[in-house]
């Protein structure tokens, strides 16, 4: 686009463009108002502005466009000026122009060079701006995640006490107290909702413990197809495009959460689509496995794309929406050493591209639980419970004692080592991950070195040492996020001790 009110200068510019050797088409505007109108309705690669125009200067236009939508703001601008000096050109650069030329020096080669330079410089500037924004977003997510993870740890401990004592109260109350039992069940329901919210916080903060294994993503998607179609609720057919050799190291449960969130978002975007569709594809690209979810729904406004991974940000009117869905997906993907990118245009749908490192080979399988070969009854087993939260320590001990186990307790790893040395025998260590001083995983490894048939269970509301936890899992130990229900506490103990198989696989 050429913005010039002088006909002689218009001819000079058009002649220079035509002689430059580059195939070029152009529109001419003679005022700032005409230029803005053309910019709002057409896509241009570059604009050449005269510095002085009947309704203002190019500096005024450059200053004004900073608050305008992306097309107007991001258009590269080259300025031509008839002034003798270079002050006007320099002031244009300071306001965001990419280059300037003096009218007396116009030539085909000069215009071609300046236009190419303006386009290239603008592209670099936009990429740098996007990189900075991504860095700021990553720092923001890290800060929120750190705070969220710490809060999750403390809240999980408290919720575990609430849930455990509520369940105990329900067991103690007879049928004649049905009104009270109804109220207690409401407490349990609210606790369950809180637990799920905390799990989402742990996910986006990338501080949850994962159990990755070699997983064929095409097979996993095919297995999940029935559930994913149910999530769509008939809003659109789900088209699968699955290729072979798509193995990556992932936690299957976390992959399911990623797929469910992305398909749910695709469904919610289809309300106005005339011929709605959702395409879910899995393929290999070099050293990566790529999952894509594409819809032809409403799309996302450019100014919102930079915020979609922010925790608690949502554009949905649904009161049930927490704004954590994509924050959770981003956290899971990042923790799995992957990447995620949203490509979207308003009215033209959205494509989400998720990339994971491709598995080079199948790693060693974890050993079976240490106590699997030792079948026996609870009354014959001794469990060492270690947790620095006094109420939770007492609750865990009560749950296990009621089942008939012998229980010893400690509030730190150092105290646990003393208890272990004084006890005739301990069959199971049931420990929190985060303890004052020595941490739970290190305690587990030290006791395992002393007693290789010791069963190991770790629990935590905030696993900030996932590698250390995985070391314990590799020894045949189990890990569970807090809060852990009474039933799950007993299941973990029985599975670790070989009394029963794990109902959760």
Residue 405 lies in a domain: yes
CB atoms within 10 A of CB 453: 11
Residue 8 lies in a domain: yes
Clarify whether residues 160 and 221 are in a common domain: no
Query: What's the rounded Cα separation, in Å, for the pair 202 and 194?
Result: 12
Domain span including residue 250: 213-357
Query: What is the per-residue pLDDT for 155?
Result: 67
Mean pLDDT of the chain: 79
Helix-strand-coil split of the chain, %, nearest 5: 50, 20, 35
Residue 450 lies in a domain: yes
Contacts 24+ apart (CB under 8 A), 424-427: 424/382, 425/382, 426/382, 426/383, 426/384, 426/451, 426/454, 427/371, 427/374, 427/381, 427/382, 427/383, 427/454, 427/455, 427/497
CB-based contacts of 471, cutoff 8 Å, min separation 6:
441, 445
* Residue from 396, 293, 406 nearest 341 by CA: 293
Q: Domain tally for the chain? A: 4
Clarify whether residues 197 and 239 are in a common domain: no
Query: What's the rounded Cα separation, in Å, for the pair 326 and 265?
Result: 9
Q: pTM, whole model, 2 decimals?
A: 0.40
Q: What is the pLDDT of residues 245-262, one digit of tens each?
A: 899 988 888 888 889 889
CATH number, domain at 256?
3.30.565.10
Residue 114 lies in a domain: no
Q: What is the pLDDT of residues 369-408, one digit of tens each?
A: 333 333 345 667 899 999 988 888 888 988 898 888 889 9
Average pLDDT, integer, range 144-170: 69
Element (H, E) at 134: helix 108-172
66, 91, 106 - which closes a domain = 106
Residue 330 lies in a domain: yes
Report yes or no: 239 and 277 within 8 Å, Cβ to Cβ: yes
204, 223, 239 - which closes a domain = 204
CB-based contacts of 163, cutoff 8 Å, min separation 6:
188, 191, 195, 483, 485, 486
Residue 364: pLDDT band with limits 50, 70, 90 = very low
Report yes or no: 107 and 128 within 8 Å, Cβ to Cβ: no
Clarify whether residues 164 and 236 are in a common domain: no
- Where residue 463 falls (left for φ over 0; alpha for ψ -120 to 50; beta otherwise) is beta
Residue 129 lies in a domain: no
pLDDT at 238 over 50: yes
On the 0-12 / 13-18 / 19+ scale of CB atoms within 10 A, 325 is buried
Q: What is the pLDDT of residues 303-347, one digit of tens each?
A: 776 677 666 556 665 544 555 667 778 878 888 889 998 888 888
151, 181, 204 - which closes a domain = 204
Residue 130 lies in a domain: no
Clarify whether residues 222 and 349 are in a common domain: yes
φ and ψ at 126, to 5 degrees? -65, -40
* Residue from 249, 245, 165, 179 nearest 214 by CA: 249
Average pLDDT, integer, range 63-81: 75
- Helix H, strand E, coil C: the string for 327-367 is HHHHHHHHHCCCEEEEEECCCCCEEEEEEEEECCCCCCCCC
Q: Which residues of 114-129 are buried (b: 16+ CB within 10 A; e: fewer)?
A: bbeebbeebeeeeeee
CATH number, domain at 13?
3.40.50.2300
């Amino acid at each position: 686009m050429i913005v010039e009110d002088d006909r002689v200068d218009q001819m000079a510019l058009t002649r220079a463009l035509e002689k430059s050797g580059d195939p070029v088409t152009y529109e001419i505007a003679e005022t700032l108002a005409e230029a803005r109108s053309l910019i709002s309705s057409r896509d241009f690669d570059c604009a050449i502005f005269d510095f002085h125009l009947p309704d203002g200067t190019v500096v005024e236009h450059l200053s004004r466009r900073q608050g305008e939508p992306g097309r107007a703001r991001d258009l590269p601008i080259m300025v031509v000026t008839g002034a003798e000096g270079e002050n006007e050109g320099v002031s244009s650069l300071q306001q965001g122009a990419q280059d300037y030329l003096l009218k007396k020096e116009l030539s085909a080669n000069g215009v071609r060079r300046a236009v190419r330079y303006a386009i290239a410089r603008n592209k670099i500037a936009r990429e740098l701006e996007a990189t900075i924004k991504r860095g700021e977003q990553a720092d923001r997510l890290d800060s929120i995640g750190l705070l969220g993870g710490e809060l999750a740890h403390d809240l999980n401990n408290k919720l575990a006490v609430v849930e455990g004592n509520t369940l105990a109260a329900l067991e103690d109350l007879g049928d004649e107290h049905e009104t009270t039992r109804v109220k207690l069940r409401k407490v349990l329901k609210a606790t369950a909702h809180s637990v799920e919210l905390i799990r989402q916080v742990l996910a986006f903060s990338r501080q949850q413990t994962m159990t990755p294994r070699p997983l064929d993503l095409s097979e996993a998607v095919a297995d999940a197809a029935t559930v994913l179609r149910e999530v769509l609720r008939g809003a659109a057919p789900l088209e699968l495009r699955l290729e072979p050799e798509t193995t990556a190291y992932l936690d299957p449960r976390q992959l399911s959460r990623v797929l469910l969130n992305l398909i749910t978002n695709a469904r919610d975007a289809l309300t106005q689509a005339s011929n709605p569709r959702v395409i879910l594809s899995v393929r290999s690209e070099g050293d990566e496995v790529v999952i894509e979810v594409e819809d032809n729904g409403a799309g996302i406004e450019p100014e919102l794309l930079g915020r979609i991974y922010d925790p608690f940000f949502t554009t949905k009117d649904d009161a049930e929406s927490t704004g954590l869905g994509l924050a959770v997906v981003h956290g899971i993907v990042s923790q799995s050493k992957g990447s995620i990118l949203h490509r979207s245009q308003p009215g033209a749908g959205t494509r989400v591209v998720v990339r994971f490192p491709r598995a080079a080979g199948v790693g060693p399988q974890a050993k079976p639980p240490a106590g699997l070969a030792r079948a026996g009854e609870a009354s014959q087993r001794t469990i060492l419970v270690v947790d620095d939260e006094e109420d939770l320590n007492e609750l865990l001990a009560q749950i296990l004692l009621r089942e008939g186990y012998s229980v010893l307790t400690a509030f730190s790893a150092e105290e646990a080592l003393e208890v272990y040395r004084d006890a005739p025998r301990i069959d199971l260590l049931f420990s929190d991950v985060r303890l004052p001083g020595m941490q739970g995983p290190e305690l587990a490894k030290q006791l395992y070195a002393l007693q290789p048939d010791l069963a190991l269970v770790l629990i935590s509301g905030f696993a900030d040492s996932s590698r250390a936890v995985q070391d314990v899992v590799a020894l045949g130990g189990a890990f569970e996020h807090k809060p852990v229900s009474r039933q799950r506490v007993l299941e973990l103990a029985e599975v670790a001790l070989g009394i029963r198989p794990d109902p959760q696989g």
